[in-house]
A and B are shown apart, each in its own frame.
Chain A
Amino acid sequence: EDKVVQSPLSLVVHEGDTVTLNCSYEVTNFRSLLWYKQEKKAPTFLFMLTSSGIEKKSGRLSSILDKKELSSILNITATQTGDSAIYLCAVPNTNAGKSTFGDGTTLTVKP
């Protein structure tokens, strides 16, 4: 059974801080790892990672995959209150098309 574990489960920082969120996985037939941001109800896509060592970047957010360590990190620099959300890591099952989600990291950024 596929397994995705995220850490920490929650994090409280102040504006301007840099945070690193972790995701580790145990899956058969790895295809990709995805990060989502959930602010209210619907998660929205952030990054899709397939290759080890290649950083994906979008503004203050970046992410990288380490296939050897079966893990990924999501970095957010110069955090803002608008970054407060649940960050979800997910790994799709290549056969069934469904995705397994980690428990998420709840990030709270205080002014």
Chain B
Amino acid sequence: SAVISQKPSRDICQRGTSLTIQCQVDSQVTMMFWYRQQPGQSLTLIATANQGSEATYESGFVIDKFPISRPNLTFSTLTVSNMSPEDSSIYLCSVHRDMGTGELFFGEGSRLTVL
């Protein structure tokens, strides 16, 4: 089973600023997934981060707003740019525990509040 360290755990940000969330996995993984969970909502996939190539973004999410880096097989960052109160969410990094079944391990999550 993978151990995923995600930081920051929480932050309060000002409108118009940007924040970068880091995700470190204790083993090499091909795909890393970034999810967003807005208050009272379920998990929505933002993008899939693959090492050595650009991230694949889901409908409704764009690279300018959510730039992602994946410099190696154990690390990824997600930046939330030019934040507004609507970006207040929990952001979750996840990896496959088992690609055959699709079971996911999640990081501890980053709770962002934008004022």
Q: Are A and B part of the same complex?
A: yes
Indicate if A68 sits at the interface (CB-CB under 8 A): no
- Tell me how many residue pairs across A and B have CB atoms closer than 8 Å: 66
Which of A41, A43, A50, A97 contacts B96, CB < 8 Å? A97
How many residues on B have C-beta within 8 angstroms of the other chain's C-beta atoms? 25
Interface size class of A (residues with CB under 8 A): 20 to 34
Contacts of A90 in B (CB 8 A): 43, 102, 104
A96 to B49 alpha-carbon distance, docked (Å):
12
Contacts of B111 in A (CB 8 A): 41
Among the stretches A11-19, A56-64, A98-106, the one at the interface with B is A98-106
Contact A32 to B107, CB < 8 A, known contacts A41-B92, A43-B43: no
Mask, B38-49, CB within 8 Å of A = 1, is 000111110010
A residues apposed to B, CB below 8 Å: 31-32, 34, 36, 40-45, 48, 50, 88, 90-94, 96-104
